C-alpha cells in the first residue's frame, strides 16, 4: 500500500522539562535526525489535550509524537502518567477511525536522552513513510462525494451479482 | 430579528417553515409535545411549509420569494443529495434558519454511519441483512431507465454532514430531541419579540453549562478503577453515575435537558452536544475520563504501567460510538478514514 | 502439566541416565513430557563459533517444529541439558530483539517449509519446571525414602543460571533452587561455594590441562566440604566431573571418589523408585558407597553446635530474598 | 532527501567486530575495569584477557586479536557477561571473534589453538550430516587429526563409556535431514551474502 | 485579530542558523504572512543591537506582538521578554521559534530546514496573536523555615538561618541529630576527628533560641505553597518526658534489654532498649524502643522507671501531632548506604570477614563496638592482610551507574588508618580509577602510596573462601584481573572491606511526592538546574541540600546547605515574591461542578466550593502543568499562556503548508 515516497510531517508535543531539553541537547550535540518533526512546546505532556492530537491529524499531519519525562520523573510528579492514560484511550478510539496505531506515539525522553528523542523521530519518519500519507482533509472533504456514492452502489451490486453467479455454477 | 414584516400571502403573520431531513422524526413529535401551546404557534405564525403536517410541495417553496420565510426549523442531517438541495433552498428562502435538534446540529445517530461507508451501509441494509431476500441484488440506483423515461432518486452520500456544514445557520436548538419546554421557550421569545442573541450558529434553548450542573446526584472527587456497561451493575441511587463506573457523558455535554437521564439512573449519552469553547466533544471526554482512571503511579515499571493502563482502558467498549454518539459528524475527524476510492480502509481490530 | 520435551543429543546415549531418571520422576510429579518429533541438535557451543546464521537456523528448526506440534499456541518446551536450554532460549531472545535476524532465519527456515515467530515458544529448564511449576510442597508429599545424612553439593554449572535471558528463574551468582529441592528430599545440603562455576565445558577436548584444572577445583572444594555426592543438572557437567575424575587424580596425584549424580536421580531415590530405573550404575565413580550412607532418620549429632564466642562481632543479617 | 556528500568514516576493525555480533554488543562502552578478566575461569591460560582483547580491538590490532587464543579458550560460562558493569555482551563477542578468526584463516597459525576451531568444525560436520551430534565419531576423528599419540589415552575412557552403555557406535540420523540441509544451505547463502 | 501587528525577527546566529536555514528567505516570506507587520533577519538577535531593533520597531511601528526565530527559549526567552518590556510591551506578548537547536543543528538538508523554519515561524505567529498580557504574581513569605533532616546539611542550614534571626523547625527521624557524619571516625583528607568538628555544631543547634528541634519526629503531610506552607509533623513517643529528663543516663545503665543496634552501629554493636544512639546525642534525652523493651514485650520490668531520679519515664506517652506554619522548606534528607548483600559474589553476610565500609568506620571509631581495635569477626584477631574493594554498587549498570564520589577517598583513609594502627598489616586496594579530585585529595593519595599500600587496578570479580592452591587455605581470596599487567590474580587476605557506594533514601519517592517534586531514576531529588540552580527545585519554596540531591562529600554538602540557607534568607528578607503567572484558572461561569479536576492536581491546588458547586484553582499553589486544563470536559479551565486557542492556532500555523497543499478533489 506504499505510495510514492514522500516526506511525512510529524507534530511533536515536547514537555518543557525533559523532552524539549532533550531536543535542545540533540541540537547542541549536533545529532542529525529527520527534519520531519515540527515542535510545539508544552509545560507538561499532561497539557496535551487529545483534541490537539486530533486537530493535528485533521489539519494535515501524518503523525503525532508526544514526548515527555519518564514515568516517575515528571516535573509535575505524574503529569506524564495522566498523558499516558489519555493517549492509551485516544489510540483505542483512533483505531476505530482507521488511523493506524503507529501514527500517534508517545515516547519518554529525559533531558539527557537526546539520542532517544532523535531516534524516535527517525524511527517514526520511517514508519510513516511505509504507511503513506494520511491526508485527513481529503478523507473528510471527499468522503461525501456524490459521484463516488453512485459509483459505489453500482460496485456493490456488481460484486453481489458476481458472487451469486459463482454460487450458481456450483 | 423582526417578525413584523409582510409576507407574500399578505396576512401579516410571520411565516414559519418546518422541514425534516435525515432524522427519525422525533423532532417533529417534540414540537407537538409542547401541547396546547401548539395552538399559540398556529396563532402567531403562518405555516408556509411543513411536509409532515400539511400538504406543501417543494415547488411551492421554490416559488416563494427569497428571504420570505421568517423562521425555518430544519431538523435532520444532510445524508443525501435531496437533503442538501433542500438545505440550500430553505437557506435561500429563509430569514432565520435554525438547526433544530441534534441531527441538524451535529449529525446525531445518522452521523454514526460515518464510521463506515455508503457501500457498506447498502451492503448491510440490502444484502447481508438476515431479514432481506434480494436475489437480484437490487440496490437503490440514482438513475433508472423505464419505458416512460428516466427516473431519478437522490444520491446517498458517503458522509453525513450537519446542516451548518452545508449552509450557514443563525441558531441551533440542541437535543435528541429538543425538550418541549425549551422549544416553547424559544418560540415564545420569537413570538413576543424578545431579543435573541447574536446569530451565527448560536445555541439557543439550552444551558451554557454542562449537564452536571442540573444533575441532582451527589458528586465527589473522582477515581475510577474500571468501567461498566449499564447492564453490568445497578447503580447506587443518589450517587454520581460516572463515579460508579458508568460512562455518563454529562460532564462533557451541554445542559438544558434538566438532566433527565441521570435523574433516573441512566447515564447521559450526550445528546445536547458540546459546550461553547469546546471543539471536539469526544476528545474532551477522553481527556476527562482517562485523567481520573486510577491506574498507574510514579515509580511503576514503564512496561507494566503501559500494560495496566491498557487493561483499564479496555473496559471502555466502543469509545468512538460512545464519545461521538451524537457528535460524530461535527467532530474534528468527522468520519472513518477512506481510501482514494472512498472505501473504508483496514481498521485493525475494531470491536463494538 | 504438559510440555514439549527436547532431550538433546547427550541424553540419547551419553547421559541416558538423565533421560531415564527424568522420565521416571515425571510420572509421579504429574509432568507430561511429549518428545518433540524429529528434533535436531542445538549446535552446542560449537556451531555458533563457526557460522552465525546456520547456527540460528539449526536451533530455530526445533522451535518451529515445537510451534507446529503445539498447533501454533503459546507453549513451553523443556530442556534438561543446560546447553540446549541456553541455545533455544538465546535464539528466541535474539530473534525477538532483532527483527532483521528473525527475518533472515525465517528465510532459511522457509527453504524447509517452516517458519517461526519469535516469542512463540518459551524454553524452560527441567529444574525450573520441577521446582517452580510442580513446587516444593508437592514434591515433599511424594518423598517416601528421605535422603537423610547424605551430604550433597548442589552444582549448577554455568548456563542454566547465566546469562538468564528472559526467563531467569534463579540468581546468576548464587542460585538456590536445587539447594531447596535437595533439602526437601531430606539431604544435608552443603553451601557449595563453587556451585555455579565452570566444569571446563568443551575444554576437555581442546585443552585437557585447562579442563582438568577446572574440574580439580570443583572436586577439591566439594571434598573440602566433605560432600558425599555432587548433584548436577547438566550432561556436560556430569561427564566432565565423572569421566575425568580419574584423569584429575592421575594428573594431580589426588584421590577423589565423589560420585556425580543428576538431581532427577536423587528425586527418584527419595520417591522410592528403584536405582536401576533411574540409570544409577552408569556413572564412572560408583555412587553405591555414598548412597549407602543414607539413613532412615536424620543424624542429629551432625548439626554443628554454633555457640559464638562472646567477644565475636555479630554477623550481618541476611534478609535478601531467597535466603529465608 | 538531498544531502551534501557527508564524510564517511572508514569501517574499522572495531566496526567489523560489532557487525559480526548479533544485537548491540555495547562494545564501545568498555571502561577497562577488568571484571571479565578477573572472572574468567580460563583467564589464566589466555594470551590476553578479554579486557585486553577489547583494548586491542579498539586499537585496531586485528592480527593480534584474531591470532589470540582468547576466544578459543572461552568456556561459555557467561560470568563475564552477567558481571560486566557496562552490560557488554562479552560471550557473544567471543563467538564473533571465533567466526572472524576462522574466516580470516588466522587460527591456523601454529602459535594459536587450531584444535579448538577444528573441534568446532568437526562437530558442525557431524551435525550437518546427521542432524545430531555423534560423540564417538567426533572424538576419534578429531583426536586422530590433532593428538594421534593421545588416542591411546582415550581408550579407557571410551571403553568405560561403552561398558556403561553411554556410547553409540553409529550416528543417528534425523528423518527430516533433507529439510535441515535445505535450511542450512539457505542460511549459509544468506550469511555469505551479508 | 487582524489588527494585531506582529514583528518577526529571524536570527542568523552567526552561521549557526544561516548555514542551514535560508534566513533571508524565511524573513521575506514571513513579511507576507497574516498579521505580520515587519519581518527582518539579523546576524545576532541576542546582541544589544538586535534587542534594540526589536524595541525600536515596537515603538515606531506600533508592534503589538513579537516573534523571534532564533535559539532555544531556555536560552534567550527572558532576554527578548526583557526587550519587549523595555519598549512598553507586556513580556508575554512574545513567542520564540527555536530554529537553532530544534532545526538548523539537527540536519544538513537546507531545503527541509528552511521549510521547517517557516512552519515554526508561522506557528509562532498564529500563536502569538492569541497571547494575553499577564502580570507576575506577588506572594507574601512566612519567615519561619522547616528543615527536614538533621545531618550535617540540615545542621548547617539551620544554624545559618537561625543566626540571620529567623526561626527554624528542624525535623529529624532518629532520636539524635548528627546523621551519617556522627558515625564516622575521621574525615578525609585532613583526618580531623569527625565528632570533634560536628558535636559543637550539634550543641549549638540544641541551644539556639531560633531553632525548634523536633527529633524522633516524622513529616506526615505538607500543604500550601511558597510563602505559606502548613506542615504536619508526628512527634513519636519517646516514653521519656523531655521536660523532666536531665539526660543523666542512669536508665540506660540499668536497662536489662539488650539488642543489636542496626542503625548507628550498623549491626556491629549492641544497645539497650532505652538508649541514645551515641553519648554526645542532641537532644540528650533517650528513647525507649518498644520492640526490645522487656516491659513493652512482656509487661514486666520498669527498671528504668525505678532508677530515674526525676521520674521522667512515662510508659503512657503517645505520638503527638504538630501543625507548623512555614514559608520555606529545606530538604536535607541525606542518603542510604548501598546494601552489600545485593552482590553475592562479594560474600557479605556469608563470609564472616567481609565487612562493609560503615562497619569498618564503626570499628576504627574509638567509641565504637571494638573500642577502635581493628579485628576480624571473632572480635580478637587483628588481620595480617586487608583487601579494600572500591566501587561496590557504584559504576555498575546493574546497581548504580553513577560514581558515589566518596568511596575512593574513604578507602584511602581506611588504608592509612590500618597502616597507622597495624603497621605490619598488608593493605590491598582494588580500584578501577582513583578519583581524588578535591582540595588536598591527590596529596592524600600520594601519602597512602608512600605508606606502602598495594594498589591493584582491576575491579574485583569475586571474593571466595574456596581455596585452590596452598597458601589460600583459611583465607579470603580476592580474585581480580590486574589490568596493568593483564593477568588474573588471586590475593589471599584475612579481611575484606567493601567500599559500598551511597544511594538515595529508600523512601525518597514518597518524600518527593509529599512535596510535589520529582526524583530522578536513582531516587535523587531533581534540582531546578544541575549547574545554575542546584539547591532550587521545581516546587517554589522547597530547597534541597546535601546528598539527597546526589552523592557528595562533607565539604560540598556544607556548601550546598549554606547556599540553600542564603536562598531562604533572601526570600524572607524580600517579604514578598514575584512568580510566573503561567497558572490555571477556572471560569466559575462555565464550571458545572462535575469535580473531574478535583484530584488531578499534584499540588492540591484545586478546591471545590460545595455551596456554589464550582471548583477553584488556588493560584499561588498552582505550578502551571496544565493537567486540569486538559481534563476539564467543559473547557472551563484556562491555562494562562498555554490556552487551547493558542495551541490549536499554533498547530494550524505549523501545518500551514500541508493544510494548503492538500488538493480538494473535484466533486
CA distance D71 to chain E (A): 16
pLDDT of amino acid B140: 85
Determine, for residues C40 and D183 on separate chains, whether the beta-carbon distance falls below 8 Å.
no
- Going from the C-alpha of C98 to that of each of C294, C323, D20, D22, E109, the distances in angstroms are 51, 37, 14, 8, 30
Same domain, E494 and E589: no
pLDDT > 90 fraction of chain E, expressed in percent and rounded: 89
Label residue E574 exposed, middle or buried (CB < 10 Å: 0-12, 13-18, 19+). exposed
Domain end position, chosen among E503, E523, E552? E503
What does the alpha-carbon distance between residue B157 and residue B117 come to, in Å, rounded to a whole number? 9
Give the least confident one: C165-174, E186-195, E438-447.
C165-174
Enumerate the H helices of chain C as residue ranges. 9-12, 16-26, 47-50, 52-69, 82-97, 99-110, 126-128, 136-142, 177-184, 203-206, 208-224, 235-243, 245-252, 263-270, 288-291
What's the whole-number mean pLDDT along residues E617-625?
89
Closest CB to C284: pick one of D98, D160, D188. Answer: D160
> E51 near E9, Cβ under 8 Å?
no
- Going from the C-alpha of E24 to that of each of A158, C210, E27, E30, E68, the distances in angstroms are 58, 73, 5, 10, 14
Domain ranges in chain A?
10-134, 136-170
Could you tell me if E263 lies within 8 Å of chain C, comparing CB atoms? no
Cis peptide before B177 (omega within 30 of 0): yes
> A134 near A61, Cβ under 8 Å?
yes
| Number of structural domains chain E divides into | 5
Same domain, E413 and E499: yes
The interface residues of chain B toward chain A in range 30-89, judged by CB-CB distance below 8 A, are 81
Q: For the domain bounded by B15-110+160-203, which CATH number is listed?
A: 3.40.50.700
Label residue E93 exposed, middle or buried (CB < 10 Å: 0-12, 13-18, 19+). buried
What's the whole-number mean pLDDT along residues E40-50?
95
Other Cβ atoms less than 10 A from the Cβ of E96: the count is: 26
What does the alpha-carbon distance between residue B176 and residue B257 come to, in Å, rounded to a whole number? 10
pLDDT of amino acid D8: 61
Determine, for residues B283 and A95 on separate chains, whether the beta-carbon distance falls below 8 Å.
no
Instruction: Encode pLDDT of B69-81 as tens digits.
Output: 999 999 999 999 9
- Taking CA–CA distances from B328, the nearest residue in chain A reads A97
Q: Which residues contact E545 (CB under 8 A, 6 or more apart)?
A: E153, E154, E156, E157, E330, E331, E332, E535, E557, E560, E561, E563, E564
What does the alpha-carbon distance between residue E74 and residue E533 come to, in Å, rounded to a whole number? 14
Residue D165 is placed in which grid cell?
A: 552403555
pLDDT of amino acid D112: 47
Residues of chain C whose beta carbon is less than 8 angstroms from a beta carbon of chain E are 171, 173-174, 191, 193-194, 217, 220-221, 224, 309, 311-320
What does the alpha-carbon distance between residue A115 and residue E138 come to, in Å, rounded to a whole number? 40
Same domain, E524 and E393: no
Q: Which residues contact A159 (CB under 8 A, 6 or more apart)?
A: none
pLDDT of amino acid B290: 95
Strand locations in B83-239 (E): 94-100, 143-146, 149-152, 156-161, 171-173, 202-203
Cis peptide before E236 (omega within 30 of 0): no
> E650 near E123, Cβ under 8 Å?
yes
Q: Which residues contact D137 (CB under 8 A, 6 or more apart)?
A: D126, D171
Instruction: Encode pLDDT of A59-78 as tens digits.
Output: 999 999 999 998 877 888 88
Could you tell me if E627 lies within 8 Å of chain B, comparing CB atoms? yes
Instruction: Check pLDDT > 50 for residue B306.
Output: yes
What does the alpha-carbon distance between residue C229 and residue C245 come to, in Å, rounded to a whole number? 13
Residue E83 lies in a domain: yes
Could you tell me if E596 lies within 8 Å of chain A, comparing CB atoms? no
Residue E139 lies in a domain: no
- Going from the C-alpha of E401 to that of each of D74, D92, E386, E501, the distances in angstroms are 27, 23, 27, 11
Read off the DSSP letter of residue C312.
S
> B277 near B252, Cβ under 8 Å?
no
Give the residue, B97 or E1, on which the prediction is more confident: B97
Domain ranges in chain B?
15-110+160-203, 119-157, 211-330
- Cα E76 to its chain centre, rounded Å, is 26
What's the whole-number mean pLDDT along residues D85-91?
96
Instruction: Check pLDDT > 60 for residue E279.
Output: yes
Query: What is the per-residue DSSP string for C169-221?
Result: -S-SSS--HHHHHHHHTTPEEP--TTTTS---TTHHHH-HHHHHHHHHHHHHH
CA distance E340 to chain A (A): 26
Residue B239 backbone dihedrals phi, psi, to 5 degrees: -115, 140
Residues of A in contact with B323 (CB under 8 A): 93
What's the whole-number mean pLDDT along residues A122-134?
92
Which H or E element spans position C124? strand C121-125
D interface test, pick of E111, E481, E490 with most D CB neighbours within 10 Å: E481
Label residue E2 exposed, middle or buried (CB < 10 Å: 0-12, 13-18, 19+). exposed
Residues of C in contact with E262 (CB under 8 A): 317
Nearest to A54 by CA among A110, A13, A7: A13
Read off the DSSP letter of residue B153.
-
Strand locations in chain B (E): 15-20, 46-49, 69-75, 78-80, 94-100, 143-146, 149-152, 156-161, 171-173, 202-203
- For E618, the domain range is 584-640
Q: Cell 505510495: give the residue.
A: A3
Instruction: Check pLDDT > 50 for residue E666.
Output: no
Residue E340 is placed in which grid cell?
A: 552489600
Query: What is the per-residue DSSP string for B46-62?
Result: EEEE-TTTS---HHHHH
What does the alpha-carbon distance between residue B284 and residue B273 come to, in Å, rounded to a whole number? 12
Determine, for residues C53 and D188 on separate chains, whether the beta-carbon distance falls below 8 Å.
yes
The interaxial angle of helices B281-291 and A50-58, nearest 10 deg, is 150
Model confidence at B8, pLDDT cuts 50, 70, 90, reads very low
> E267 near E261, Cβ under 8 Å?
yes
What does the alpha-carbon distance between residue C297 and residue C294 come to, in Å, rounded to a whole number? 9
Residue A42 backbone dihedrals phi, psi, to 5 degrees: -125, 160
Instruction: Check pLDDT > 70 for residue C302.
Output: no
Could you tell me if E432 lies within 8 Å of chain D, comparing CB atoms? yes
Nearest to E560 by CA among E538, E543, E537, E540: E543
What's the whole-number mean pLDDT along residues C138-155?
95
What does the alpha-carbon distance between residue E238 and residue B208 come to, in Å, rounded to a whole number? 59
Same domain, E58 and E107: yes
Give the least confident one: B299-313, C204-218, C296-310, E525-539.
C296-310
Kindly report the three-state secondary structure assignment for every residue of A82-104: HHHHHHHHHHHHHHHCCCCHHHE
Residues of E in contact with A63 (CB under 8 A): none
Instruction: Check pLDDT > 90 for residue B345.
Output: no
Instruction: Check pLDDT > 70 for residue E453.
Output: yes
Instruction: Check pLDDT > 70 for residue C312.
Output: yes
Amino acid at each position: 500500500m506504499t505510495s510514492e515516497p514522500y516526506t511525512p510531517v510529524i507534530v511533536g508535543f515536547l514537555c518543557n522539562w525533559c523532552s524539549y531539553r532533550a531536543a535542545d541537547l540533540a541540537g547542541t550535540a549536533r545529532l542529525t535526525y529527520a527534519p520531519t518533526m515540527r515542535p510545539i512546546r508544552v509545560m507538561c505532556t499532561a497539557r496535551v489535550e487529545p483534541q490537539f492530537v486530533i486537530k493535528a491529524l485533521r489539519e494535515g499531519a501524518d503523525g503525532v509524537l508526544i514526548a515527555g519525562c519518564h514515568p516517575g520523573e515528571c516535573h509535575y510528579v505524574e503529569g506524564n502518567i495522566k498523558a499516558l492514560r489519555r493517549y492509551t484511550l485516544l489510540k483505542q478510539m483512533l483505531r476505530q477511525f482507521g488511523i493506524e496505531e503507529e501514527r500517534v506515539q508517545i515516547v519518554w525522553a529525559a533531558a539527557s536522552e537526546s539520542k532517544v528523542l532523535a531516534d524516535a523521530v527517525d524511527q517514526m519518519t520511517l514508519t510513516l513513510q511505509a504507511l503513506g500519507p494520511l491526508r485527513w482533509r481529503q478523507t473528510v472533504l471527499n468522503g461525501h462525494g456524490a459521484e463516488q456514492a453512485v459509483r459505489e452502489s453500482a460496485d456493490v451490486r456488481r460484486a453481489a451479482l458476481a458472487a451469486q453467479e459463482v454460487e450458481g455454477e456450483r | 430579528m423582526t417578525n413584523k414584516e409582510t409576507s407574500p400571502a399578505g396576512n401579516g403573520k410571520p411565516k414559519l417553515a418546518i422541514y425534516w431531513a435525515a432524522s427519525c422524526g422525533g423532532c417533529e413529535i417534540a414540537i407537538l409535545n409542547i401541547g396546547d401551546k401548539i395552538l399559540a404557534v398556529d396563532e402567531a405564525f403562518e405555516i408556509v411549509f411543513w411536509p409532515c403536517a400539511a400538504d406543501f410541495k417543494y415547488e411551492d417553496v421554490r416559488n416563494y420569494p427569497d428571504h420570505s420565510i421568517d423562521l425555518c426549523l430544519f431538523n435532520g442531517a444532510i445524508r443525501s443529495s435531496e437533503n442538501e438541495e433542500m438545505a440550500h433552498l430553505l437557506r435561500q428562502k429563509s430569514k432565520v434558519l435554525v438547526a433544530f435538534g441534534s441531527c441538524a446540529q451535529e449529525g446525531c445517530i445518522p452521523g454514526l454511519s460515518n464510521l463506515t461507508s455508503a457501500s457498506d451501509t447498502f451492503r448491510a441494509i440490502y444484502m447481508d441483512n438476515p431479514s432481506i431476500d434480494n436475489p437480484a441484488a437490487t440496490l437503490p440506483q440514482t438513475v433508472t431507465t423505464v419505458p416512460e423515461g428516466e427516473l431519478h432518486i437522490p444520491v446517498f452520500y458517503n458522509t453525513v454532514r450537519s446542516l451548518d456544514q452545508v449552509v450557514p445557520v443563525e441558531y441551533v436548538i440542541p437535543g435528541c430531541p429538543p425538550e418541549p419546554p425549551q422549544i416553547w421557550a424559544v418560540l415564545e421569545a420569537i413570538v413576543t419579540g424578545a431579543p435573541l442573541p447574536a446569530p451565527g450558529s448560536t445555541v439557543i434553548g439550552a444551558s451554557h453549562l454542562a449537564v452536571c450542573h442540573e444533575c441532582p446526584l451527589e458528586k465527589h472527587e473522582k477515581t475510577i478503577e474500571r468501567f461498566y456497561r449499564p447492564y453490568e451493575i445497578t447503580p447506587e441511587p443518589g450517587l454520581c453515575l460516572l463515579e460508579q463506573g458508568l460512562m455518563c457523558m454529562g460532564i462533557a455535554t451541554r445542559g438544558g435537558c434538566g438532566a433527565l437521564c441521570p435523574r433516573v439512573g441512566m447515564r447521559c449519552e450526550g445528546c445536547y452536544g458540546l459546550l461553547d469553547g469546546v471543539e471536539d466533544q469526544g476528545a474532551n471526554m477522553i481527556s476527562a475520563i482517562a485523567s481520573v482512571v486510577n491506574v498507574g503511579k510514579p515509580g511503576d515499571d514503564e512496561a507494566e504501567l503501559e500494560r495496566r493502563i491498557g487493561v483499564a482502558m479496555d473496559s471502555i467498549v466502543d469509545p468512538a460510538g460512545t464519545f461521538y454518539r451524537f457528535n460524530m459528524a461535527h467532530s474534528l475527524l468527522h468520519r472513518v478514514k477512506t481510501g482514494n476510492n472512498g472505501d473504508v480502509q483496514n481498521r485493525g481490530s475494531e470491536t463494538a | 502439566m504438559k510440555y514439549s520435551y527436547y532431550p538433546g543429543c547427550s541424553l540419547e546415549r551419553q547421559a541416558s541416565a538423565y533421560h531415564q531418571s527424568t522420565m521416571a520422576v515425571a510420572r509421579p510429579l504429574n509432568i507430561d513430557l511429549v518428545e518433540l518429533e524429529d528434533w535436531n541438535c542445538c549446535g552446542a557451543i560449537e556451531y555458533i563459533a563457526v557460522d552465525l546464521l546456520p547456527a540460528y537456523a539449526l536451533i530455530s528448526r526445533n522451535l518451529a517444529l515445537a510451534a507446529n506440534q503445539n498447533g501454533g499456541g503459546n507453549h513451553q518446551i523443556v530442556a534438561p541439558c543446560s546447553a540446549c536450554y541456553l541455545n533455544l532460549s538465546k535464539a528466541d531472545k535474539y530473534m525477538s530483539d532483532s527483527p532483521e535476524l528473525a527475518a533472515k532465519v525465517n528465510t532459511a527456515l522457509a527453504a524447509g517449509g517452516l517458519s517461526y515467530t519469535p516469542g512463540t515458544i518459551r524454553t524452560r529448564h527441567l529444574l525450573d519446571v520441577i521446582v517452580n511449576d510442580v513446587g516444593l510442597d508437592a514434591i515433599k508429599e511424594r518423598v517416601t525414602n528421605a535422603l537423610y545424612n547424605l551430604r550433597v553439593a548442589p552444582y549448577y554449572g554455568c548456563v542454566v543460571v547465566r546469562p538468564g535471558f528472559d526467563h531467569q528463574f534463579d540468581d546468576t551468582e548464587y542460585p538456590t533452587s536445587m539447594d531447596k529441592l535437595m533439602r526437601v528430599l531430606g539431604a544435608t545440603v552443603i553451601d557449595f561455594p563453587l556451585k555455579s562455576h565452570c566444569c571446563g565445558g568443551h575444554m576437555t577436548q581442546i585443552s585437557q590441562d585447562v579442563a582438568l584444572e577446572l574440574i580439580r577445583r570443583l572436586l577439591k572444594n566439594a571434598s573440602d566440604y566433605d560432600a558425599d555426592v555432587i548433584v548436577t543438572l547438566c550432561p556436560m557437567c556430569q561427564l566432565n566431573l565423572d569421566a575425568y575424575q580419574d584423569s584429575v587424580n592421575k594428573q594431580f596425584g589426588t584421590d577423589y571418589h565423589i560420585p556425580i549424580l543428576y538431581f532427577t536421580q536423587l528425586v527418584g531415590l527419595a520417591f522410592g523408585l528403584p536405582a536401576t530405573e533411574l540409570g544409577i550404575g552408569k556413572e564412572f565413580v560408583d555412587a553405591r558407597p555414598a548412597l549407602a550412607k543414607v539413613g532412615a532418620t536424620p543424624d542429629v549429632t551432625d548439626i554443628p553446635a554454633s555457640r559464638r564466642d562472646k567477644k565475636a562481632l555479630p554477623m550481618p543479617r541476611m534478609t535478601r530474598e531467597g535466603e529465608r | 532527501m538531498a544531502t551534501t556528500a557527508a564524510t564517511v568514516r572508514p569501517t574499522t576493525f572495531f566496526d567489523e567486530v560489532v557487525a559480526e555480533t548479533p544485537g548491540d554488543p555495547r562494545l564501545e562502552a568498555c571502561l577497562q575495569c577488568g571484571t571479565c578478566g578477573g572472572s574468567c575461569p580460563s583467564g589464566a591460560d589466555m594470551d590476553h584477557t578479554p579486557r585486553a582483547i577489547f583494548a586491542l580491538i579498539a586499537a585496531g590490532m586485528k592480527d593480534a586479536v584474531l591470532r589470540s587464543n582468547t576466544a578459543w579458550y572461552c568456556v561459555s560460562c557467561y560470568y563475564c557477561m552477567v558481571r560486566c558493569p557496562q552490560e557488554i555482551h562479552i560471550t557473544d563477542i567471543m563467538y564473533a571473534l571465533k567466526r572472524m578468526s576462522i574466516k580470516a584463516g588466522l587460527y591456523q597459525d601454529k602459535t594459536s589453538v587450531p584444535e579448538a576451531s577444528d573441534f568446532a568444525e568437526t562437530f558442525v560436520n557431524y551435525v550437518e550430516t546427521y542432524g545430531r551430534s555423534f560423540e564417538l565419531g567426533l572424538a576419534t576423528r578429531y583426536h586422530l587429526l590433532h593428538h594421534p599419540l593421545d588416542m591411546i589415552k582415550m581408550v579407557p575412557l571410551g571403553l568405560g563409556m561403552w561398558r556403561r552403555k553411554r556410547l553409540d557406535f553409529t550416528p543417528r540420523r534425523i528423518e527430516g535431514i533433507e529439510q535441515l540441509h535445505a535450511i542450512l544451505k539457505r542460511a549459509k547463502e544468506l550469511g555469505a551474502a551479508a | 485579530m487582524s489588527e494585531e501587528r506582529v514583528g518577526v525577527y529571524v536570527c542568523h546566529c552567526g552561521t549557526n542558523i544561516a548555514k542551514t536555514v535560508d534566513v533571508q528567505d524565511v524573513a521575506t516570506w514571513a513579511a507576507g504572512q497574516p498579521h505580520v507587520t515587519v519581518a527582518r533577519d539579523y546576524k545576532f538577535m541576542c546582541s544589544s543591537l538586535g534587542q534594540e531593533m526589536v524595541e525600536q520597531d515596537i515603538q515606531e511601528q506600533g508592534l503589538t506582538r513579537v516573534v523571534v526565530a532564533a535559539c532555544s527559549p531556555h536560552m534567550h526567552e527572558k532576554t527578548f521578554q526583557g526587550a519587549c518590556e523595555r519598549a512598553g510591551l507586556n513580556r508575554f506578548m512574545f513567542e520564540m521559534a527555536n530554529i537553532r537547536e530544534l532545526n538548523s543543528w539537527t540536519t544538513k538538508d537546507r531545503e527541509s530546514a528552511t521549510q521547517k523554519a517557516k512552519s515554526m515561524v508561522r506557528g509562532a505567529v498564529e500563536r502569538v496573536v492569541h497571547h494575553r498580557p499577564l502580570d507576575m504574581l506577588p506572594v507574601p513569605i512566612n519567615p519561619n523555615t522547616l528543615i527536614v533532616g538533621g545531618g550535617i546539611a540540615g545542621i548547617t542550614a539551620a544554624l545559618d538561618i537561625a543566626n540571620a534571626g529567623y526561626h527554624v523547625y528542624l525535623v529529624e527521624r532518629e532520636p539524635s541529630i548528627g546523621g551519617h557524619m556522627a558515625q564516622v571516625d575521621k574525615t578525609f583528607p585532613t583526618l580531623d576527628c569527625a565528632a570533634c568538628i560536628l558535636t559543637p555544631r550539634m550543641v549549638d543547634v540544641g541551644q539556639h533560641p531560633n531553632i525548634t528541634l523536633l527529633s524522633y519526629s516524622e513529616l506526615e503531610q505538607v500543604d500550601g505553597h511558597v510563602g505559606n506552607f502548613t506542615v504536619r509533623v508526628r512527634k513519636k513517643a519517646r516514653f521519656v518526658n523531655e521536660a523532666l529528663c536531665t539526660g543523666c543516663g542512669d536508665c540506660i545503665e540499668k536497662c536489662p534489654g539488650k539488642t543489636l543496634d542496626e542503625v548507628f552501629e550498623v549491626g556491629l554493636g549492641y544497645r539497650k532498649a532505652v538508649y541514645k544512639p551515641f553519648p554526645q546525642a542532641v537532644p540528650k534525652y533517650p528513647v525507649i524502643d518498644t520492640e526490645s523493651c522487656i516491659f513493652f514485650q512482656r509487661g514486666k520490668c520498669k527498671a528504668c522507671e525505678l532508677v530515674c531520679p526525676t521520674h521522667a519515664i512515662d510508659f503512657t506517652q503517645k505520638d503527638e501531632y504538630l501543625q507548623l506554619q512555614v514559608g520555606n522548606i529545606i530538604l536535607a534528607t541525606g542518603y542510604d548506604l548501598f546494601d552489600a548483600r545485593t552482590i553475592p559474589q562479594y560474600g557479605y553476610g556469608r563470609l564472616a570477614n567481609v565487612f562493609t565500609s560503615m562497619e569498618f568506620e564503626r570499628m576504627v571509631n574509638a567509641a565504637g563496638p571494638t573500642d577502635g581495635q581493628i579485628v576480624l569477626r571473632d572480635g580478637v584477631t587483628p588481620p595480617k592482610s586487608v583487601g579494600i574493594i572500591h566501587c561496590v554498587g557504584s559504576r555498575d549498570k546493574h546497581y548504580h551507574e553513577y560514581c558515589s564520589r566518596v568511596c575512593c577517598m574513604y578507602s584511602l583513609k581506611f588504608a592509612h588508618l590500618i597502616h597507622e594502627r597495624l603497621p605490619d598489616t598488608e593493605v590491598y586496594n582494588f580500584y578501577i580509577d582513583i578519583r581524588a579530585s578535591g582540595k588536598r585529595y591527590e596529596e592524600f593519595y600520594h601519602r597512602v602510596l608512600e605508606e606502602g599500600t598495594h594498589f591493584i587496578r582491576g575491579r574485583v570479580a569475586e571474593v571466595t573462601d574456596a581455596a585452590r592452591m596452598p597458601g589460600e587455605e583459611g583465607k579470603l581470596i580476592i580474585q581480580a584481573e590486574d589490568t596493568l599487567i593483564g593477568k588474573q590474580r588471586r590475593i589471599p587476605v584475612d579481611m575484606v572491606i567493601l567500599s559500598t557506594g551511597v544511594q538515595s533514601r529508600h523512601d525518597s519517592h514518597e518524600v518527593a511526592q509529599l512535596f510535589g517534586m520529582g526524583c530522578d531514576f536513582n531516587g535523587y531529588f531533581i534540582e531546578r538546574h544541575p549547574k545554575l540552580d542546584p539547591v532550587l527545585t521545581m516546587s517554589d519554596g522547597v530547597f534541597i541540600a546535601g546528598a539527597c540531591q546526589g552523592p557528595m562529600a562533607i565539604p560540598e554538602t556544607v556548601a550546598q546547605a549554606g547556599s540553600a540557607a542564603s536562598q531562604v534568607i533572601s526570600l524572607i528578607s524580600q517579604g514578598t515574591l514575584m512568580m510566573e503567572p503561567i497558572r490555571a484558572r477556572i471560569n466559575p461561569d462555565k464550571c458545572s461542578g462535575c469535580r473531574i479536576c478535583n484530584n488531578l492536581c499534584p499540588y492540591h491546588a484545586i478546591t471545590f466550593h460545595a455551596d456554589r458547586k464550582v471548583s477553584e484553582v488556588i493560584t499561588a499553589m498552582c505550578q502551571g502543568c496544565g493537567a486540569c486544563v486538559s481534563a476539564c470536559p467543559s473547557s472551563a479551565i484556562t491555562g494562562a499562556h498555554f490556552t487551547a486557542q493558542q495551541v490549536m492556532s499554533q498547530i494550524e500555523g505549523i501545518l500551514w503548508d500541508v493544510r494548503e497543499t492538500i488538493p480538494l478533489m473535484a466533486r
